[in-house]
Structure 1
């Protein structure tokens, strides 16, 4: 819409410059980037239109290589285009990236059993990575197929990737480029095609491969195409896995509400708001360290100035989270604490020492009214991590 306005009003720059030179300069910069932006959109559209029907998810690869592949297909040289794109998957960088991203899915919420499922998926994908690197494409492709199906089943309420019936997962999400109708949904149809007879045509059909009806599937190009699909699918899956981990955490916390005790790791069982509180306290330490470093004391209010209601709400806390801040008498130690909804208190402190900074973390039933230097028994040693500060 903004670029349309530029086209519709070519004299707008001169008019703006009479009002505000800075605004006019920003407008001129935007107009200069119009062609670059339009070209980017055109190249993305070309890749989706030309390469997706050939079984490629055209993301994460070098844009110049993708553009060259599009040109080769349009010149009637599709096999060369496939070979060029398959070369992007030979050095192990992209296949390794898929494994790494899957291995951290579902992490960060303390749901270790759920996260471990993705770690196990990553373990199998690393085997596919090894097979691809060793050019054992007959082995890499079935492993990736299995993990594609498993990811989709787990994150779409039992729906499937490789099916045409009512159990087919809906992968269309216009807020994600990989999930627009022209990408994952189209690839789902291509890889989900059936096989009417036994053949050796190099088909991508998972059904034909799994049931022995496609006898020439084991090529570098087919393995690379399958890797490209799971790479795109991981982008679709990551936010869904995070949402599910958060749901599981909320359910666990609700179940443990009011339980007074610790688990086998010494962590409070009723740990509602611990994760959000820990994250916010660590954020508060950053500007405290900066001010101590620059001025030797905190000169600007951190709570209510640098961090306000919207910041606390974005962190998953109330608009007024009741975080307390104190300074030592000499101003060289700053500490914060918050009483969580369970009544348990978490705190964090930073102190300026002759050799730099020390950091302390606190977990206890009552507020830490004294600084770590004044009450070391209360806080423990610098840089020690209390059990309740571990995920």
Structure 2
């Protein structure tokens, strides 16, 4: 049976590696396009968030290409992400599509049961080896992103995209863990050759918000590269590996390991509000303590956890003196509008930093 999953950042690379090693036939999720979005907007409830509309449109395109099994993570709480699977299943079956849906959520035993059911040649030895390679690919991909966000200041969006694609392809093709270290080293070397030495006057921006919107460039209109091109050093507070550890591993064991962020958020938000709302608040406080010049929050329209977090960010800005900007995106968002707001925000931060240096 042909298995697929939603497109979200570069998640497809480690997942396809994992499934391939376990003998699971995989259909790579189609890239997100305007058609994907239009399909989602057409069939999703009008009030649903942008991530759901993109997931639904992506599933429709995958089913058109022959997918027989849809796979998606689950969850609970105020964030609607935990209900994406059931809602998409209901809509797609009403449209006449035939498929099987697997929702991956704790406990770990439930996830392993799904994998063993789909695998044509499962063994624990193969599973451990495949998981290790897939996990290491995810970690390397995230390290490449961190390097580019912090060192790729001034790099054009097109050149940045070509560089990313070149090395992501190498990661996808890697068959052994030892190959990944060399890829990381070569990426950093080539990146350094493309950009001038970082200027201490470059503004530093922390990026927080809804996980799907932060990780998926199509959803956020390529905001990370736009910030780099405008001369900003970016530090992202959201990475998939952290989400997996917190929700599928520690969460499945009833543990909470994100104590530093939770403690930082305590004066402004004491309990989780679903999604990454608490993390958005905690990371913003931490960025203010680390001499960042500003924080940018990304949220889909109607996202309750990020709406709650946004109100806390207003207090943090007043108390700790760190400028914040919230960008809310939906199907009506335009690249021109986002670019204008980013330019104004970066200009504000640059002027503020220059005044601080002068004084």
Shorter chain as normaliser: what TM range?
Answer: under 0.3
TM-score by length of structure 2 reads 0.26
When you count helix as a share of all residues, which structure comes out higher?
2
